[in-house]
Structure 1
Amino acid sequence: MVADHSAGTLLELAAAGRLAAEYPLVCRIVAALAEQEPARGEVARAGRLLDRVDPAEIERLHPGLPGVSVGITGHGTLSALAPALRAEFARHGLVARPTVTGFDGYVRELGDPASELSAARPDLVLCVLDPAMVFDEVPVPWTPADVERAATAKVALIERLAERYTRAGRGTLVLNTMPLTRRHTAQLVDWRSRARLGAVWRQANARLLALADHHPSVVVVDLDPLVAEGVPVGDDRLGTYAKAHLTDDLLAAYAREIGHLARNLVGRTKKCLVLDLDDTLWGGVLGDDGVDGIEIGGGYRGEAFLAFQRVAKQLGSQGVLLAAVSKNDPELVERALREHPAMALREADFVQVVANWRPKHENLAGLADRLGLGVDSFVFVDDSAYERGLVRRELPGVAVVDVDGEPALHPGRLLRDGWFDQRELTGEDRVRPARYREEAARKGFLDRFDSVEDYLRELDVRVRVSRATEPEAARISQLTLRTNQFNLTGRRLQPQDVRRLMRDPDALVLSVHVGDRFGDSGLVGAVLARWHGDLLHIDNFLLSCRVFSRSVEEACLNWVLRHARERGAGAVLAGYRPGGRNGLVREFYPRNGFVHEADDGTMLTFRHPLTEIPPPPPHIRLVEVHEAP
């Protein structure tokens, strides 16, 4: 944990003109401030300090930090949103490049191809909607029917703008629901009319929320849950005099949600929730209290721990990997998970349960190695301040969630930062934990053989390479966002980007499915390529860490090379861009017959002449291979 003088350190850095130079430190400080509930004002102050710093200077000094460009438009005054975004992006190690357009200019910005936002092509466009958009259009006096007409027309306009924006393919458009305030409902003196107004308003918001179903490039943030947590919607004076129809506090809470979205956009969504056990997942100390003595279900504290387990189980059902790391006797932990009658989480819910007396940070590092993940994929929850501090110091990439002796607060503290948020859930997500448990069985199977070659032969690996279909677009996008090790160029694509490539006659989007004697691993890889005359250029090649060390990548590349030659290609070009954790694939193309051709400082380019293509690895069966057009 950064010391209490962190806010003062930011002021010192700002006074010295060092915020850009020390931006990684700034990110750590803002992250620490954001973890402290009373520090909301300090985070806002950090955003205002960062608003004075040129993002280009930060990126020049720290080229490895991902930057996200954000266009901000809407109906009211939104000047407070840019600094809030800068702070929220910083706490995730990102650089925000916000641009705020003119007042009430959202129609032109979204609808005119020559507008400022259209020309800038930002990664995210935030069109911030507020209640005044509707109530500014109603007559005085007004009735619920007047509001219904105005809301229907306004939502129809936004639907048309979203449709136009989606067709233009200019990144991700973020909309939001419009909160209904008492200032408006109280102007109706009978409860029947108020009920009618509430129904009308919710119908309009339901139409907004449905836009995400119809337009893959649209995200809709529901503001009602934020308001329900006590965040005020409007300030009468600022709304009247400055046309700031949403409070700074609500814009800050909204910016927090956008920070989660930006984190997903650059591939930094977390994958694994690692839970301590004693006084975190259940009450009491298992070694002292025994299986029958721990608190889980029954009694108010036991019910609180049970509620937390149910939240973790809910996350696990959507593809979040659950693991436990505890200083405990492993046999006793096994008994508790199997035998305690009130336990919501059982052994089968975890991909790994680690119980021993080693330091937690060492166990987390070992767990990452066994799962084939980076520790920066982990969210760690522990009630011990000592253990949390040790993990923060030794493994700074791990997101650490502070919980204490009040288990009723555990769920809120875990959920408030949206560590696992993603654009779209796929079928692969729901079966991911089972895939990792199958992988554990594979590793146990390996121990039975004297050589890797014998193991691979008996594993019976099956690989299918085929042209990707529309339902696979979301999963391929997810691979580009979540895969960091076998990711040759680091290119991140949203689902709409993948679908656009699939419609391009010069593009080749391939999906890779893998199975073996232990089951179907699913869609675990993708090849994104493009034809340039008689050259096929591989723009990116991705493979999930779950199928490493089986030569799947060589089999896929063999298929691509043979396909290119059959189509009359003169050569295949492929790129490698160093970055993050993909160093292990730097020599992938040279190892497979490619020769170095160019280096522009950011990308290495390789060429395969297609004169000699070795056969695929002998232990792999290429099955159901469909000719790609």
Structure 2
Amino acid sequence: MKLNDYINKSRKLSKHKSMKEIKIAFLSTFTINGLGEIMKVLCHDEKINVQTYVGPYGQYAQEILNTSSKLYSFNPNIIFMLFDAEQFLGDFFHFPYRLSADERKGFIDGKLNEIQDLVKTLSKNTDSKMVLNSLLVPHYSSRGIHENKQEKGLRKLIHYFNETLDKMSVNNSQLFIFDFNSFSSKIGHSNLVDRKMHYLGDLRISPQGLVDISKEYMAYIYPLASMTRKCIVLDLDNTLWGGVVGEDGLENIKLGPEKDGKPFMDFQKRILDMFERGIILAINSKNNYDDVKEVFKKHKYMILKEDKFACIKINWQDKVSNMKEISKELNIGLDSFVFFDDDKTNREMIKELLPEVLVVDMPDDPSLYPKTIEDLHVFNAFTLTKEDMKKGEMYAEQKKREDLKLKSTDIKSFLKELKIKTSITEANKFNTPRISQLTQKTNQFNLTTRRYQEEDIKKFSSSEDYIVKCIDVKDRFGDYGITGAVIVKKSKDFWEIDTFLLSCRILGKEIEFGFMKNILDNAKKAGVEVRAEFIPSKKNKPAENFLK
């Protein structure tokens, strides 16, 4: 669809009770008419109802610095800030070499301070997520082929500006930097800019560019709406390799560095990369297991090995039933799944009968398979901890634990064979993001279900009135990572447990008793009693049973 199509469609949108609600604000140095309407349509397609606020043209600083501005009264969940390099840098953009090298560097440092002050003001006055674009490196220079030889030249300084923005975002959980240069490279600079509209209406991004950037902005909307996906479910024949292994045989499937096999090999590399950033993998295939096992073991170009999959359903059962079983075995909802299958009939069946599952419409041309992964934004989250990046591996290890459990005669022998080790540590700058994440995501074994941001955890852990600890768990099959947290409020006569939680992945292993004993032992040494509050929710029955 084109810009006008989105604008027209936005006028006909209707709100439904089941839709999620978010507020999006836009601040910009240039005209962005239509951007809000595009975002409304894209979000509506994902069952998200959006209210938008577009700040006055070029008045981003006034909106941020004036706490009585409409920006703050609108109270957005997320703020997108679009800065054009030419407008933001002013005459310096056109005539940087009127200044000495040191003066050029000083000018850019001044602009960085300006941005830093604006971000600090926003962070102080709102909990909104902030998305600020990096500056586009100009493709033209009056210095021509000598531009890159200039000491502190314009391009080098803009790269420096962008790198400093990245560093700024590392220490601010609210701030994210949208890589405008990567975006320009993806869609092509000629598609990003419409020179005629540039001069007619100060539209620094073309109408089609606004559509394209809106699609990229959805990467921030999915986690904001708690719609992040966790698991990739894969078909095999003509998806992970070309051909049908049961008919063509191991030697004749298309997989490898040659032209017909390269797209499948690259697709597998993309999937493996997702696994290594924490995405869970599963297989849902109508096939003979022995044929597939031979591919896993003997095909030299099979990138994805069997041990990378947390759940494998290779049988002649319908794929809907398999999908439900995968959900049950992994203990994650169908709304966490993304399904890849070359067969349109299978895709349509899943879409119809399991609408919660995101079904990727695979292209007919396998050379486009890798791009299907590149264009998916549904795996993004606002935090990415060490535990997150190991989640795919952890779920694959869980399969080995389940196999051991089946062989064990009773729960005691099973736990003994696991050889569980725990480590309890106080909150620090390294584990604070994970502790915060656990408070926001843990539902079943959570006494109070209180949600805390990183800043809250830092505040508690630096106070003498609180104890904040986490527990790290490992066993013979691997490292679960930080899977539990406790927050205790201290007073003279007693300690009150504000938060006590454990990830569902380690329930049933009696770890909660040892974790609680640590608190009770410390309280005994301090000569105080311990009180625990239970706040019931729809999901935290296991925590209530523990208290009983």
Where on the TM-score scale, by shorter chain, does this alignment land: which range? 0.7 to 0.9
Task: Give the aligned residue type for 1:107.
Answer: A
Give the conservation status (yes or no) of the 8 Å contact 1:488–1:541.
yes
The answer on 1:199 being equivalent to 2:159 is no
Distance across 2 between alignment mates of 1:166 and 1:96: 22
The answer on 1:433 being equivalent to 2:388 is no
Of 95, 105, 115, the residue aligned with 2:59 is 105
The answer on 1:222 being equivalent to 2:215 is no
Equivalent position of 1:575 in the other structure: 535
The Cα of 1:330 is off from its aligned counterpart by 0.6
The Cα of 1:587 is off from its aligned counterpart by 6.1
Equivalent position of 2:49 in the other structure: 95
Equivalent position of 2:77 in the other structure: 123
The Cα of 1:328 is off from its aligned counterpart by 0.9
The answer on 1:406 being equivalent to 2:361 is no
The Cα of 1:339 is off from its aligned counterpart by 0.7
Going from structure 1 to structure 2, the CA distance change for 1:280 and 1:262 (only over 3 Å counts) comes to same
Task: Give the aligned residue type for 1:122.
Answer: P
Q: CA RMSD in A?
A: 3.4
Equivalent position of 1:178 in the other structure: 135
Give the conservation status (yes or no) of the 8 Å contact 2:10–2:41.
yes
Equivalent position of 1:499 in the other structure: 458
Alignment of 1:488-527 (within 5 A): 494-503=453-462, 506-527=465-486
Distance across 2 between alignment mates of 1:420 and 1:404: 20
Query: In structure 2, the residue corresponding to 1:277 is in which secondary structure?
Result: coil
Query: In structure 2, the residue corresponding to 1:299 is in which secondary structure?
Result: coil
Of 540, 544, 547, the residue aligned with 1:589 is 544
Distance across 2 between alignment mates of 1:537 and 1:44: 54
The Cα of 1:555 is off from its aligned counterpart by 4.9
Task: Give the aligned residue type for 2:52.
Answer: P
Task: Give the aligned residue type for 2:203.
Answer: A
The Cα of 1:166 is off from its aligned counterpart by 3.8
Give the conservation status (yes or no) of the 8 Å contact 1:70–1:96.
yes
The answer on 1:305 being equivalent to 2:264 is yes
Equivalent position of 2:432 in the other structure: 473
Going from structure 1 to structure 2, the CA distance change for 1:587 and 1:229 (only over 3 Å counts) comes to closer
The answer on 1:142 being equivalent to 2:95 is yes
The answer on 1:82 being equivalent to 2:36 is yes
**TM-score between both structures, scaled by the size of structure 2:** 0.86
The Cα of 1:148 is off from its aligned counterpart by 5.0
Distance across 2 between alignment mates of 1:209 and 1:94: 29
Equivalent position of 2:288 in the other structure: 329
Distance across 1 between alignment mates of 2:40 and 2:449: 24
Equivalent position of 1:257 in the other structure: 216
Distance across 2 between alignment mates of 1:563 and 1:422: 36
The answer on 1:160 being equivalent to 2:117 is yes
Alignment of 1:250-399 (within 5 A): 250-399=209-358
The Cα of 1:547 is off from its aligned counterpart by 1.4
Give the conservation status (yes or no) of the 8 Å contact 2:280–2:393.
no
Same amino acid, percent of matched pairs: 25
Going from structure 1 to structure 2, the CA distance change for 1:84 and 1:374 (only over 3 Å counts) comes to same
Distance across 2 between alignment mates of 1:373 and 1:167: 36
What CA deviation, in whole Å up to 9, does each residue of 1:211-262 have, x standing for no partner?
2224333100112222223263333444334433333433333333332223
Distance across 1 between alignment mates of 2:145 and 2:282: 51
* Uncovered stretches (5+) of structure 1, i.e. residues with no partner: 1-37, 594-629
What CA deviation, in whole Å up to 9, does each residue of 1:89-121 have, x standing for no partner?
334433333322222222233334444434555
Task: Give the aligned residue type for 1:96.
Answer: V
Task: Give the aligned residue type for 2:76.
Answer: P
The Cα of 1:326 is off from its aligned counterpart by 1.4
Equivalent position of 1:32 in the other structure: none
* Uncovered stretches (5+) of structure 2, i.e. residues with no partner: none
Give the conservation status (yes or no) of the 8 Å contact 2:278–2:393.
no
The Cα of 1:383 is off from its aligned counterpart by 0.7
- More deviation, 346-355/324-333: 346-355
Give the conservation status (yes or no) of the 8 Å contact 2:269–2:303.
yes
Distance across 1 between alignment mates of 2:497 and 2:49: 29
Query: In structure 1, the residue corresponding to 2:485 is in which secondary structure?
Result: strand
The Cα of 1:281 is off from its aligned counterpart by 0.8
Task: Give the aligned residue type for 1:452.
Answer: I
Give the conservation status (yes or no) of the 8 Å contact 1:536–1:569.
yes
Task: Give the aligned residue type for 2:391.
Answer: R
Alignment of 1:542-557 (within 5 A): 542-553=501-512, 555-556=514-515
Going from structure 1 to structure 2, the CA distance change for 1:538 and 1:256 (only over 3 Å counts) comes to farther
Give the conservation status (yes or no) of the 8 Å contact 1:539–1:574.
no
**TM-score between both structures, scaled by the size of structure 1:** 0.75
